Amino acid sequence: MRSFFKAYKDILVYHDYGPLLLFWNIADLANNRVLWMSYGEALDGGNEWAYFQYCLYFVVALGMLFSLPNIRSCSRFVGTYLMLYIFSTTRFLVNVFSDPEFAAGEVGRSLVVTGVYFTLWVWIYVKMRMEVMHKDLRG
């Protein structure tokens, strides 16, 4: 049982993030609402701020995709993406705790999914920064 969990730990510590980041990035871009919704539609629904946020996500994800071969630049885009993620998650949490109507929805499910995605991005970011750091130290 212990070796079973150790295998998972080894996957997290030693396996590379590159292919995961590439596919996740493409999926993220394809899933972005900017591609499937016009600004007019967002404006009609009163979601223009969310639309801008998705625009930012889209731009950062594109930057990530094109800077993937250059780990230093890519880590900056991943860092920006994480900041956006923290921003939107905190905004969501503040809304949940301050607005009872908002909290009535599928908050638990959203939080679990957000938590998993957040862990994923943090893992990728930490791995990238470590790689950059070790490259810098090696000179």
Q: Which chain residues interact with another protein by CB under 8 A?
A: 49, 79, 83-84, 86-91, 94-95, 98, 129, 133-134, 136-137
Find the shortest distance in angstroms from Cβ 135 to another protein: 12
**What Å distances lie between residue 113 and 103, 110, 116, 123, CA to CA?**
16, 5, 5, 15
Which of 3/98 has CB closer to another protein? 98
Find the shortest distance in angstroms from Cβ 130 to another protein: 9
Q: Which of helix, strand or coil describes residue 16?
A: coil
Nearest to 121 by CA among 95, 94, 93, 84: 84
135 vs 96: CA distance, rounded Å: 42
139 vs 131: CA distance, rounded Å: 12
Find the shortest distance in angstroms from Cβ 41 to another protein: 22
Which of 23/52 has CB closer to another protein? 52
Which of 27/130 has CB closer to another protein? 130
Which of 116/137 has CB closer to another protein? 137
Instruction: Quickly tell me which residue has 């638990």 as its tokens.
Output: 108
Which of 69/139 has CB closer to another protein? 139
Find the shortest distance in angstroms from Cβ 79 to another protein: 7
Find the shortest distance in angstroms from Cβ 118 to another protein: 11
20 vs 125: CA distance, rounded Å: 12
